[in-house]
Structure 1
Amino acid sequence: MINRIKAKPEVKGYLSLVLHAHLPYIRHADRDDYMEERWFYEAMTETYLPLIDVFDRLTNDGVDFRITMSLTPTLLSLMADRLMQERYAAHLAKLIELAEREIDRLEQDQGLQPLARMYAQRFRELKAIYESSGRNLITRFRHYQDLGKLEIVTSAATHGFLPLMRTEEAITAQIKTAVRHYEKHLGRSPRGIWLPECGYTPGVDRILKSCGLQYFFADSKAVAYASPRPNRELLAPLMTPYGVTAFPRDPESSQQVWSSENGYPGDYNYREYYRDIGWDLGWGSAEEWEYIRPYVLPTNERVNTGIKYYRITGKGKHREPYNPEWARERAAEHAGNFMFNRQKQAEHWDAHLDRKPIIVSPYDAELFGHWWYEGPLWIEMLCRKIFHDQHELQMITPSEYLNEYPIADTGKLNESSWGRNGSAEVWLQGDNDWIYRHLHEAEGRMVQLATRHEHLESRPRLSASLLKRALNQAARELMLAQSSDWAFIMDSKTVVDYACKRTKNHLGCFRALCSQIEDGYVDEAFVAELEEKDNIFPDIDYRDYASIYRTAPVELIRDEATWRTVLQETKDRANVFLLAWEYPPKYVGGLSRAVCDLAEAMAAQGEIVHVVTSSHYGAPAFEKRNGVYVHRVTPLYSAETDFYHWTFEMNLAMIDHLVQWKEHGGRIDLLHAHDWMVYHTLREIKLSYGIPAVCTIHATEWGRNQGRLSTELSRNIHRLETGLAYDAEQVFVCSQAMKHEIQQLFHKEESKVLVFPNGVKRADAMEAATSCHNRDAAKRELGVEHEHVLYFVGRLVHEKGVQTLIHAMPGILSRVPNTVLYISGAGPMENELKQLAAHLGDRVRFTGFAHKEQKHTHYCAADVCVIPSLYEPFGIVALEAMMYQRPLVLSDTGGLAEMIEHGVDGYKALPGHVDSLVYHVTDLLLQPQFGRQMAERAFAKLEQRYIWEQLVNSIREQYRKFTHELLPAAPVKP
């Protein structure tokens, strides 16, 4: 349950307390005497169970709190593992036994015996919590997430340090595996992620976005020095170019807790971490050693037991017994001090910002309880004080803040981490740099194998099922070797041998599996052994590593027979290559559909048509789709990964692909580029091979921004559009309005700018006409049988004018109260528009991006379709409304204005004019018979002017002027 926070009027700002809970995968199936496995036991006893205890007490006392936690995939795996659950239960039983024996041992020591009693009681309380959760503590964390008190975020699968990974596939696999694991254990998709070590590098945001993640946490330096400099500094999140929100760490609150000199945990009244009976006892006599020996490792290595009797006292060697009451009083004081300082921060920034500031205070969860014994108590005191003692500060989760303020400034973040010097220094220096040449080699090998075996095929000595198991296990071993913990340990010089051993062992197992797969023979017993030993991520999918960066034709069409067939099919006739950055199944705007309809209509007429486009997850790198040869290429990884720079990388991949096509004997007789995104490819291939080129400009940057080119990005795009218009022998446009715009902007002579409107397929038009009478059934499906339905579909951007339609709804409802507006589409204005429409309740309903079936239902249910664009070169959605014979109200602008005759086959409203929109929409709602007559006339016009099978002949004639080829006979039905 994601709550929308309800701030009290006097609230000056928000506090987001973030706890990063992580442990590496330290499960050892063969034996339980590893010191590192004790890390899990200690964290369970001192951090995770005490936090649940705090949440229980706060909830029972009616304290409304908000805390954000990351539960990393490796930690979730340890918590859910039956073997680890049993081992921890046994460990907890031994702790209780030891504490009770300590009560007896200290019978004559009235200073320490009460502490032994305290520990015995505490361990029994924790055992009760553990057993009540069914030994799976995830269920308790999930309970508080479901209550809306706790927000849980994910992290990379094995906490690999993403900026030091070589391939995008490796980063993608880490994130996708993490998301699946989160969904499995927590029953929902994560909204946020804790990037391991807060390690960010440009381009990671694009991968996060593709995996459905909305926000992450960043070090303060990443945001403070972003470009452009953030207007709200560190007191509000910043959105990356790919629309993922970065919440910056607040340095001031971090220092108060983290500082080794001035931080709260160093107070002399708190418990001393470094004095534990596991180390203190057994030095004086053999009897004392026999007493403590059962509670250290079976190898007789000393470890912390968790029973510590002394407070910090001071910097010298003198120590005094721990006093729980003094520590409790000091925790309350420190909680009050922390709250006071955050209040002052919030009060200061509330006067300077256009929104309530958010103070993001992230810490390692294990600091609270494990290193700082009183840490969970401090959190409890802080939550109570914020709830009871003041009104200026309110706790919040990142999702709640995004719900309240969905719009943020955009900027490019710096590569950074929360490690030493804010860089990758901890994970890349002289003591650990040796690991990366091996990890990078392994990444490349995993990508090659996953790509080669993306579609499993049995071999003479290797079944598909065994091959899949081996590939999945190889992926596990690589991920486990990538854990940032190993490099961190090597830097901190703690258990270095263990970290080196883990890295080398996982890489060794990985290489052995790869060699077997490459040789075509896999030892099933070896795979089974590894599956038992390293059993993390049972749902792992090796295909997450499959590369879609395939630019050479030999790689694109792996079956050599198919390759020869394609060359043979295309060698004797003109080959037309359409260049477009999006193509089905990739849909971003209307360009994808327009290019697809044109290409398939041309292929149906007998043309040899290729489309070179960008890759899309799940779509093949090459296919023959409805007669069209579709080549999908993927940009090389680039540090500059905003959309503008990404298109440049995409062009490099397209150029490389077309060069190799030519070198392998393929023909290119004409290039047809669609919009500025593919301009570099058109120019390079045209000049390199002397190939003629035309282009279609679907819209201009000048038009989208209503005559303003106020940003560097807009000016850059305009320059590319100018170059495209100049280098193309002819410019195709979809309306007379666009022709005029192109001539005025780019000074292209009139004879070089040709108008070819967009269209619809005849079969689609006939299908829509047949189903358009099912209005009542469609309304029943939507649950609006007795409502008037308005329908808008399109990108949620400013130029589509949806904001005007929302502003018009009160006027429409005052005249026709039982009216509901459906808005289908996605885009950067979505959250802003939802806020704008919030006061209208269920009278405005956002459906998100609409697929074909969803649009079909909404068109059938619609009484009026509304297209309120401020700028529209054409408007394919108007053709869709005409297909379904739905009355149209559209803006009197651009190509839209040319599609209908006002009052005859539709209404034209003034662009951006609320009253005009209200009048024309309500007139059609109140006169349904008149609207039906208009819609019938519009359908007749569609049949005469906008059917692709008719439109395409004019374009084919233009192609022939450049290819000098006779028109082939058209095999289509009339």
Structure 2
Amino acid sequence: MINKIKQKPELKGYLALVLHAHLPYIRHFDRDDYMEERWFYEAMTETYLPLIEAFDRLIDDKVDFRITISMTPTLLALCTDPLMQERYMNHLHKLIELADKETVRLAKDKQLLPLARMYAERFRKLQQIFMGCGRNIVNKFRYYQEQGFVEILTSAATHGFLPLMKTEEAIRAQIAAAVDDYVRHFGRKPKGIWLPECGYTLGVDRILKQLGIDFFIADTTAVTYATPYPNRELYAPLMTPYGVSAFPRDPESSRQVWSSQDGYPGDFNYREYYRDIGWDLGWNDLKEWEHIRPYVLPTHERVNTGIKYYRITGKGSHREPYNPEWAREKAAEHAGNFMWGREKQAEHWQRHLDRRPIIVSPYDAELFGHWWYEGPIFIEMLCRKIFFDQDQIKMITPSEYLKEYPVADTGMLNESSWGRNSSAEVWLQGNNDWIYRHLHEAEKRMIRLATDNEHLESTAHMSAAQLKRALNQAARELMLAQSSDWAFIMDSQTVVDYACRRTKDHLGCFRRLCDMIEARQIDEPFLSELEEKDNLLPDIDYRHYVSIYRRSPVAIIPDVAQFEQILKDTRDKPNLFMLAWEYPPKYIGGLSRAVAALSEALAAQGEIVHVITSSHYGAPYFEKLNGVYVHRLPVLTSGDTDFFHWTFEMNLAMVDHLLAWKEGGGRIDLLHAHDWMVYHAAREIKLSFGIPLVCTIHATEWGRNQGNLYTDLQKKIHHLEWRLTYDSEKVFVCSEYMRNEVQTIFQLPPDKVHVFPNAIDLALPPGQFSPSSRRDWAADNEKIVFYVGRLVYEKGVQVLIDAMPFILSQVPGTRLIIAGSGPMEQELRAKAYHLGDRVTFAGFIVDATKRRLFEAADVCVFPSLYEPFGIVALEAMKHRRPVVVTDTGGLADIVQHGVDGYKALPGHAQSLAWHVSDILLQPQLGSRFADAAYRKLQEHYDGQRIAKNMKVVYDRLTYAQPSLTIAY
């Protein structure tokens, strides 16, 4: 008989348990009788110290657990403040004293006496844990992180609800201050952040990326309603266009814990939160009142003491004593049920994904222990069961998951929160909407003061150090007023007077400080008192509020000194101005990369090149980038507007900016307009100042629509293209195909049109590709066919999908990866549905992901029906990947059939399939094509060569070197 060896079950997926630890800044330095300050004592006693106790037991028993905890700067400030540490120590002394008195009071009560003794022992144990941490629990959590058991996230500085802030500067200041504070406490920068209330709004990801944040926790709806819909749904992070990963909340595991109807904390065996002796004793018994009176507030307001004797029992008035053993057994049972649910989820989603799923279960930390007394026991039991009792799921932190799977779908997240209706409703409704006009005005005033005082060394009337203190304290007061907790309390109608008073007090202090700063007369005693009273964020820097859009003679150039330096650097040579509606990092089509490659190549030859373009999240309004002066203009739109009308408003912004440049003393010697979108600005500046104009026609509306112009919009665009070519001295195109097209449809004389192929930078950035990372998309024995581009009809992706069954019949282990977004996406997804996991829609991808996909691909396919040039084909050649293109437009010029690639018949699925399959079946052929194509790039598409030829035309128009000839 053969003994069968039991196989170890395959790991199916991961669980990320995320605890959000937060308290508002409830330190009151002058008094210790605020009820709200007790929130801190209760959280310490019932949540944070019990979690430390549980973590220490797990470590002692060699349980390899992973938990993610966000610790807000306000909580860190409370935990590390000596005053709060001393007050909490006194609070523990009083709890022990009260518990001891309870054992005397209940000496004859056989049911409750064991519970009183339990509390007396429990409070002493917590006191021992607190002293063992040196009264500073933050150091303990830092130790857990350094040992790899815990990952600590940051949050906004005062937990301000970011979507309702008016300015980018205010959002950035909240996050930047939090990052600085995190470094101070934990000795490293945070990798992740808990956005307050999971509140996400467009552009936050750009700020996170700038500050080095890799990921954040998002509400379910942020990803469920993302665009495009994510392939991996809620069970893998979704990367935003700025390269920050959003980990969505899993609704199933959340419901099991949060639900007020059937969530675990409502079990009848657990301790009843609402029956506390601070409220139960002394209503009709003077002796009982004297017993409890020293342990409520000095004002005799009743509060929770933390001593509760009853279990939940049921919904009626009947109550039974709490039984700790029953509760512990139930916590273990619920931990097992929770683990089983995650196993089933992981098993299901592993069959549908190309990677192990991650189930993200985020909760308020205070739920565990404070609201659900047995919560820390549940967490400890869950960690033990996952480690000892099964092998199908494993606990993980978000950073560990990103390290294992660095590549993700990319999409635009939905604006959302984890509040009511997944919106901002909790923080913006009738009870609290009055605060925002004051907060928004304060934001603008803080930005103005920070910008005006960015360089304090120039201050002559008073101490720069004192002024800096006042500015920093003003920033603290504004941030404290912005705390989301105040609006939340106003919505929940709990301690509303306190929340209103805190908002008004901080705004009042802020305004008084601003008045002092503007008058240059600081009230030193008042400032010192405020610094003692509101002493959080000791490293705060008011300069986080410096305007990202400083006003100057040229509107967007940061300051006068810089503007004058730019004028000095550019006054002695001709200034070329490129006008383009998109420019990196804004990528909509291929125009952005083409303009950037040309501009940088010209700059490398010593030309002074300016690019005038539209603003983009994450990019500065002005910078000198790779030798090019880049001016990114905000476009003010009047409400909802379509793209055609938006371009007109963009042209107005361009005209205003160029006029300001001229009026400020700047040179404009030549205009180069890229496509019809910038026609109005180019024509206006040309005629106003007599400046020569050239244009590049990258594509035509006539060509995109196969010569059929049906709609008014198509006719308007066609007319603008004609006018642009008419008003330009020279017209540039990227291929012979396009030369024939524009000469024919616009009736241009041959000597007016010049062919300049789009350039490509042959230098590759440092690569992170390894053979193992190819497995993010395909198994080792599978082939990858890669397409990247817009998902529009003329790109022919529908033909490639039609070709897949033929390709699979020849090469069964083939995967098609389609990267990009566009109006045809849903139609293409439906068309590919029957192919199952053989087709993957990667969505919009960032450059790093695109580079790795190029390197992983066995063949790159560009099946366009209309393509003026096809720069993505050059990108594939640059990465030494074999290409299959269609025999149309500029693609036909790029590829020599059978020498450096294949050209299939346009719109012919079987022709495309044969050529793709041939390369997949003959890897050596593909390598030969790729090598030949790379040599062609070096010879014909080098940016420096193209820029040199284009400069000859430029110089003739600016009369710099009229005798030079172009070397085609």
Alignment TM class, shorter chain as reference: 0.7 to 0.9
Q: 1:188 maps to what in 2?
A: 188
SS in 2 for 1:871: helix
Return the offset for 1:955: 4.6
Return the offset for 1:80: 2.1
Per-residue CA deviations over 1:261-291 (Å, capped at 9, x if unaligned) read 2111111111111121222233344443333
Q: Do the aligned partners of 1:310 and 1:319 also contact (CA within 8 Å) in 2?
A: yes
Return the offset for 1:436: 0.6
**Number of residue pairs aligned between Structure 1 and Structure 2:** 837
Q: 2:419 maps to what in 1?
A: 419
Q: 1:458 maps to what in 2?
A: 458
Per-residue CA deviations over 1:869-917 (Å, capped at 9, x if unaligned) read 9733899x99xxxxxxxxx999999999999xxxxxxx99999996479
Per-residue CA deviations over 1:448-500 (Å, capped at 9, x if unaligned) read 22222223343332333222222222111111111110000001111111100
Return the offset for 1:106: 2.3
Q: Do the aligned partners of 1:549 and 1:636 also contact (CA within 8 Å) in 2?
A: no
Q: 1:904 maps to what in 2?
A: none
- Cα distance in structure 1, aligned partners of 2:28 and 2:496: 18
**Deviates most, 613-622 or 298-307:** 613-622
Say whether residues 1:828 and 2:828 are aligned partners.
Answer: no
- Cα distance in structure 1, aligned partners of 2:561 and 2:434: 44
SS in 1 for 2:24: coil
Distance 1:163 1:721, change over 3 A: farther
Q: Do the aligned partners of 1:551 and 1:634 also contact (CA within 8 Å) in 2?
A: no
Return the offset for 1:114: 1.5
Aligned AA (1:828): V
Q: Do the aligned partners of 2:738 and 2:890 also contact (CA within 8 Å) in 1?
A: no
Return the offset for 1:324: 0.2
Q: 2:724 aligns with which of 705, 718, 727?
A: 727
Q: 1:403 maps to what in 2?
A: 403
Distance 1:612 1:835, change over 3 A: closer
Distance 1:518 1:216, change over 3 A: same
Q: Do the aligned partners of 1:739 and 1:753 also contact (CA within 8 Å) in 2?
A: no
Distance 1:945 1:533, change over 3 A: closer
Q: 2:435 maps to what in 1?
A: 435
Return the offset for 1:90: 2.3
- Cα distance in structure 2, aligned partners of 1:617 and 1:245: 16
Q: 2:602 maps to what in 1?
A: 598
- Cα distance in structure 2, aligned partners of 1:725 and 1:147: 67
**Deviates most, 39-48 or 685-694:** 685-694
Return the offset for 1:159: 1.1
Aligned AA (1:463): S
Aligned AA (1:727): L
Alignment of 1:229-268 (within 5 A): 229-268=229-268
Alignment of 1:70-81 (within 5 A): 70-81=70-81
Q: 1:539 maps to what in 2?
A: 539
Distance 1:525 1:355, change over 3 A: same
Q: 2:874 maps to what in 1?
A: 872
SS in 1 for 2:429: coil
SS in 2 for 1:872: helix
Q: Do the aligned partners of 2:759 and 2:942 also contact (CA within 8 Å) in 1?
A: no
Distance 1:568 1:504, change over 3 A: same
Q: 1:311 maps to what in 2?
A: 311
Aligned AA (2:361): S
Q: Do the aligned partners of 1:227 and 1:413 also contact (CA within 8 Å) in 2?
A: yes
Return the offset for 1:398: 2.2
SS in 2 for 1:694: strand
Q: 2:739 maps to what in 1?
A: 743
Q: 1:37 maps to what in 2?
A: 37
- Cα distance in structure 2, aligned partners of 1:345 and 1:619: 40
- Cα distance in structure 2, aligned partners of 1:567 and 1:661: 9
Return the offset for 1:19: 1.2
- Cα distance in structure 1, aligned partners of 2:680 and 2:594: 22
Per-residue CA deviations over 1:708-751 (Å, capped at 9, x if unaligned) read 99xxxxxx99x999977973526787xx9x44364367668654
Q: Do the aligned partners of 1:192 and 1:215 also contact (CA within 8 Å) in 2?
A: yes
Distance 1:287 1:352, change over 3 A: same
Q: 2:860 maps to what in 1?
A: none
- Cα distance in structure 2, aligned partners of 1:37 and 1:179: 26
Q: 1:957 maps to what in 2?
A: 955
Return the offset for 1:93: 2.5
Q: Do the aligned partners of 2:552 and 2:558 also contact (CA within 8 Å) in 1?
A: no
SS in 2 for 1:413: coil
Per-residue CA deviations over 1:560-598 (Å, capped at 9, x if unaligned) read 799799999999997643446899999997965753563
Q: 1:672 maps to what in 2?
A: 672
Q: Do the aligned partners of 1:874 and 1:895 also contact (CA within 8 Å) in 2?
A: no
Q: Do the aligned partners of 1:19 and 1:365 also contact (CA within 8 Å) in 2?
A: yes
Aligned AA (1:529): E
Q: Do the aligned partners of 2:159 and 2:483 also contact (CA within 8 Å) in 1?
A: yes
Q: Do the aligned partners of 1:889 and 1:909 also contact (CA within 8 Å) in 2?
A: no
SS in 1 for 2:255: helix
- Cα distance in structure 2, aligned partners of 1:451 and 1:14: 46
Aligned AA (2:873): Y
- Cα distance in structure 1, aligned partners of 2:267 and 2:627: 75
- Cα distance in structure 2, aligned partners of 1:163 and 1:385: 39
Per-residue CA deviations over 1:90-134 (Å, capped at 9, x if unaligned) read 222322232223223322222222212212222222222222222
Return the offset for 1:969: 14
Say whether residues 1:793 and 2:764 are aligned partners.
Answer: yes
Return the offset for 1:366: 0.5
Return the offset for 1:554: 5.7
Alignment of 1:479-518 (within 5 A): 479-518=479-518
Q: 1:844 maps to what in 2?
A: none
Q: Do the aligned partners of 1:891 and 1:897 also contact (CA within 8 Å) in 2?
A: no
Alignment of 1:892-931 (within 5 A): 915=924
Q: 2:916 maps to what in 1?
A: none
Q: Do the aligned partners of 1:222 and 1:414 also contact (CA within 8 Å) in 2?
A: yes
Distance 1:448 1:731, change over 3 A: farther
**Deviates most, 374-383 or 721-730:** 721-730
Say whether residues 1:100 and 2:100 are aligned partners.
Answer: yes
Return the offset for 1:303: 1.6
- Cα distance in structure 2, aligned partners of 1:140 and 1:215: 24
Return the offset for 1:661: 4.1
Q: 1:123 maps to what in 2?
A: 123
Alignment of 1:570-585 (within 5 A): 576-579=576-579
SS in 1 for 2:694: strand
Aligned AA (1:531): E
**Deviates most, 84-93 or 321-330:** 84-93
- Cα distance in structure 2, aligned partners of 1:559 and 1:404: 45
Aligned AA (2:545): Y
Q: Do the aligned partners of 1:583 and 1:613 also contact (CA within 8 Å) in 2?
A: yes
- Cα distance in structure 2, aligned partners of 1:685 and 1:263: 67
Distance 1:408 1:565, change over 3 A: closer
Task: Output the aligned Cα RMSD.
Answer: 5.3
Unaligned ranges ≥5, structure 2: 1-6, 707-712, 782-844, 857-870, 904-918
Q: 2:816 maps to what in 1?
A: none
- Cα distance in structure 1, aligned partners of 2:637 and 2:138: 37
Unaligned ranges ≥5, structure 1: 1-6, 710-715, 761-790, 811-826, 839-868, 879-887, 900-906, 924-933
Alignment of 1:812-851 (within 5 A): 828=846, 830=848
Aligned AA (1:793): L
Distance 1:327 1:28, change over 3 A: same
Distance 1:756 1:792, change over 3 A: closer
Q: 1:528 maps to what in 2?
A: 528
Q: 1:207 maps to what in 2?
A: 207
- Cα distance in structure 1, aligned partners of 2:258 and 2:597: 54
- Cα distance in structure 1, aligned partners of 2:215 and 2:173: 18
- TM-score where L is the length of structure 2: 0.73
Q: 2:834 maps to what in 1?
A: none
SS in 1 for 2:182: helix
Q: Do the aligned partners of 1:240 and 1:246 also contact (CA within 8 Å) in 2?
A: yes
Alignment of 1:755-834 (within 5 A): 793-794=764-765, 828=846, 830=848
Q: 2:817 maps to what in 1?
A: none
- Cα distance in structure 1, aligned partners of 2:724 and 2:8: 60
Distance 1:594 1:201, change over 3 A: same
- Cα distance in structure 2, aligned partners of 1:491 and 1:658: 49
Q: Do the aligned partners of 1:873 and 1:896 also contact (CA within 8 Å) in 2?
A: no
